[in-house]
Amino acid sequence: MSNTKYIFVTGGVTSSLGKGIIAASLAKLLQSQNFKVTIQKFDPYINVDPGTLNPYEHGECFVTDDGAETDLDLGHYERFLNVKTSQANNVTTGSIYQSVIEKERKGSFLGKTVQVIPHITNEIKERMRLLGEKGDYDIVITEIGGTVGDIESLPYIESVRQMIWDLGRENTLVIHLTLIPFLSAAGELKTKPTQHSVKTLMESGISADIIVCRTEHQLSNDIREKLALFCNVKREAVIQSIDVDTIYDVPLKMLEEGLDRVVLQKLQLPPKPHDLKLWKDFLNRFKNPKNNVKIGLVGKYVELQDSYKSILESLIHAGADNETEIEVVSLHSEQIDSKNIKEVLDPLDGLIVAPGFGERGIEGKIIAIAYARKNKIPFFGICLGMQMAVIEYARNQVGLSEANSTEMEPNCKSPVIDLMESQKSVVKKGGTMRLGAWDCNLSSKTKAIDAYGSTSISERHRHRYEFNNVFSDQIFDENFIVSGINPETGLVEIIEFNNHPWFVGVQFHPEYKSTVSSPHPLFKAFVKASLAKKLNH
């Protein structure tokens, strides 16, 4: 048996307190002391994965190298730790039940009544231990989605209780994240909701070892002592998590509060010196920019921060790398038309057209791309954004006025973007797109190769449609070129427009691979080009 230690992060009082950021920050502090750490997220909803969820419901869907469509918190884990996650790092109630029911059908429980306890909890516990048992990690942090007391979280909380029993208290630890609201009428911070949520946890047989308190104001000594007393934890185990300007400040705030120290003490692991140099260098560049640029982000979910989470974070990484502050201007694709395009795009230094599905808003995207191409505004098209760039060129430059994607117009005359052959027989929606890491070979003397500095790369995908190679000769010319191709299938992965400072469209999702310590080359190059445009004006 491995010596892996298990940390569980639960949440109380309200959702959206940022359990993922706290888990990632703690992992960062442990990783900076040379502990091998991974984080996994358990989500209590019935969907087998979030791939079928609308971004309005659940924010962005993050994709791993092995093609799992996962919760966006996995993006934070990768961005903070620079360590890849996988299918095993995200578990949902749907996937747990699916596997238990499959076992039942195979006859694995013959003669037995299949029940939440022990069958569902056994399956949950197996998944909780899966990564730890490989022996690759000293510490596995498991974030339990939802809020303590929710009906749907109960099997997870019960599994945590059993895990503590199975593995012993010195090998397990529970961090409970709560909110300390400030009542302005009373001018006071209130601890009662936290007391109640800790009590709810106790009713399930779990006493939290550490309480992390989200707050807008400093917690006084009195409040910390009161929380310790009522919540049954040591005074130093009451950790303040005060609102900060950037999520990337949280690890350092947790360091100040001694979160990792208390964790290591409880797990009986020796603390080591922290190496946070790279992290601090990044923060320093991020907070002391020498320049600024305005980047337009065209999409149809722009009012929701979480829908394009990885793109926004990639811009932060690339901005810091270029010592440039990035102001993202959200542009709703349905509100862009040929009348307002000049007024909307002229103030911008660069334009991103976001990924997406379905017809809504695509004409606005095409108008924006045409303007960026003709007016030499740096342009970065991601997945659907790349497909729209092809359609724009086909319609406006090649003269295929009815060019479209068969996703938007199944019987269109010039299907320059079409369903992949391998997708034509697919009927089920869940987990059936072209997903995960695929290789791509880059052509010489292109923006792509300049950015990557390498001839062969691997990037993550999540789409069903592709450039239709039947149109290759008609569409590509000396100006509009293919700069990246998948070596096995010949599928077009990157397109560029040459007669332009920086116009690149990618069929994959580069945003899933940008991290604090390794900002994505294409985002870096795009920000650099946007900055150059601004400075040359």
Residues with a catalytic annotation lie at: 383, 509, 511
* Range in contact with ligand GLN (rule: CB under 6 A) among 36-44, 273-281, 446-454, 461-469: 461-469
- Whose Cβ is closer to ligand GLN: residue 179's or residue 435's? 435
Q: How far is CA 221 from the centre of its chain?
A: 36
**How large is the C-alpha radius of gyration of the chain?**
25
Query: Rounded to an integer, what distance in angstroms lies between the CA atom of residue 413 and that of residue 391?
Result: 12
* Tokens 């307190």, residue located: 17
- Out of 120, 384, 416, 531, point to the residue binding ligand GLN (CB under 6 A): 384
Q: Is 53 in the site for ligand GLN (CB under 6 A)?
A: no
* Range in contact with ligand GLN (rule: CB under 6 A) among 47-55, 306-314, 459-467, 515-523: 459-467
Give min distance, CB of 357 to ligand GLN, in A: 4
Q: Is 462 in the site for ligand GLN (CB under 6 A)?
A: yes
Q: Is 383 in the site for ligand GLN (CB under 6 A)?
A: yes
- Whose Cβ is closer to ligand GLN: residue 485's or residue 531's? 485
Q: Is the dihedral of CA 14, 15, 16, 20 positive or negative?
A: positive
* Range in contact with ligand GLN (rule: CB under 6 A) among 14-22, 111-119, 191-199, 351-359: 351-359
Give min distance, CB of 525 to ligand GLN, in A: 20
- Whose Cβ is closer to ligand GLN: residue 148's or residue 311's? 311
Q: Is 19 in the site for ligand GLN (CB under 6 A)?
A: no
Give min distance, CB of 464 to ligand GLN, in A: 4
- Whose Cβ is closer to ligand GLN: residue 147's or residue 310's? 310
Q: Which is nearest to 179 in space by CA: 18, 34, 324, 311? A: 18
Q: Can you list the positions of beta strands (E) in 149-190?
A: 172-179, 182-183, 188-189
Strands 434-442 and 480-485: antiparallel
Give min distance, CB of 81 to ligand GLN, in A: 25
Strands 324-332 and 480-485: unpaired
Give min distance, CB of 394 to ligand GLN, in A: 16
DSSP letter string, 329-397: EEEEGGG--TTTHHHHHTT-SEEEE----SSTTHHHHHHHHHHHHHTT--EEEETHHHHHHHHHHIIII
- Whose Cβ is closer to ligand GLN: residue 223's or residue 331's? 331
Give me the phi and psi of 481, to 5 degrees please: -130, 160
Q: Is 460 in the site for ligand GLN (CB under 6 A)?
A: no
- Whose Cβ is closer to ligand GLN: residue 461's or residue 528's? 461
Q: Is 230 helix (H, G, I), strand (E, B) or coil?
A: helix
Q: Is 390 in the site for ligand GLN (CB under 6 A)?
A: no
Q: Which is nearest to 201 in space by CA: 237, 238, 154, 233? A: 154
Tally Cβ neighbours within 10 Å of residue 13: 23
- Out of 291, 357, 443, 476, point to the residue binding ligand GLN (CB under 6 A): 357
Where does 39-84 have alpha helices with state H? Answer: 55-58, 73-81
Give min distance, CB of 433 to ligand GLN, in A: 6
Give min distance, CB of 444 to ligand GLN, in A: 28
Tally Cβ neighbours within 10 Å of residue 477: 12
Give min distance, CB of 297 to ligand GLN, in A: 14
Give min distance, CB of 387 to ligand GLN, in A: 6
| SS3 per-residue string spanning 74-141 | HHHHHHHHCCCCCHHHEEEHHHHHHHHHHHHHHCCCCCCCCCHHHHHHHHHHHHHHHHHHCCCCCEEE
CB 176 within 8 A of CB 204: no
* Range in contact with ligand GLN (rule: CB under 6 A) among 5-13, 182-190, 266-274, 355-363: 355-363
Tally Cβ neighbours within 10 Å of residue 430: 12
- Whose Cβ is closer to ligand GLN: residue 39's or residue 372's? 372
- Whose Cβ is closer to ligand GLN: residue 198's or residue 394's? 394
- Whose Cβ is closer to ligand GLN: residue 260's or residue 493's? 493
Q: Is 309 in the site for ligand GLN (CB under 6 A)?
A: no
* Range in contact with ligand GLN (rule: CB under 6 A) among 41-49, 239-247, 353-361, 447-455: 353-361
CB 269 within 8 A of CB 37: no
- Whose Cβ is closer to ligand GLN: residue 300's or residue 533's? 300
Q: Is 489 in the site for ligand GLN (CB under 6 A)?
A: no
Give min distance, CB of 207 to ligand GLN, in A: 44
Q: Is 356 in the site for ligand GLN (CB under 6 A)?
A: yes
Q: How many residues bind ligand GLN (CB under 6 A)?
A: 10
- Out of 19, 76, 274, 463, point to the residue binding ligand GLN (CB under 6 A): 463
Q: Is 464 in the site for ligand GLN (CB under 6 A)?
A: yes
* Range in contact with ligand GLN (rule: CB under 6 A) among 154-162, 254-262, 371-379, 457-465: 457-465
* Range in contact with ligand GLN (rule: CB under 6 A) among 107-115, 116-124, 212-220, 354-362: 354-362
Query: Rounded to an integer, what distance in angstroms lies between the CA atom of residue 15 and that of residue 179?
Result: 10
- Out of 257, 260, 407, 496, point to the residue binding ligand GLN (CB under 6 A): 407
Q: Is 465 in the site for ligand GLN (CB under 6 A)?
A: yes
Where does 32-72 have alpha helices with state H? Answer: 55-58
CB 281 within 8 A of CB 232: no
CA distances to 362, 385, 467, 481, 511 from 495, rounded to whole Å, are 19, 11, 10, 6, 17
Catalog residues that contact ligand GLN under the rule CB under 6 A: 355-357, 383-384, 407, 462-465
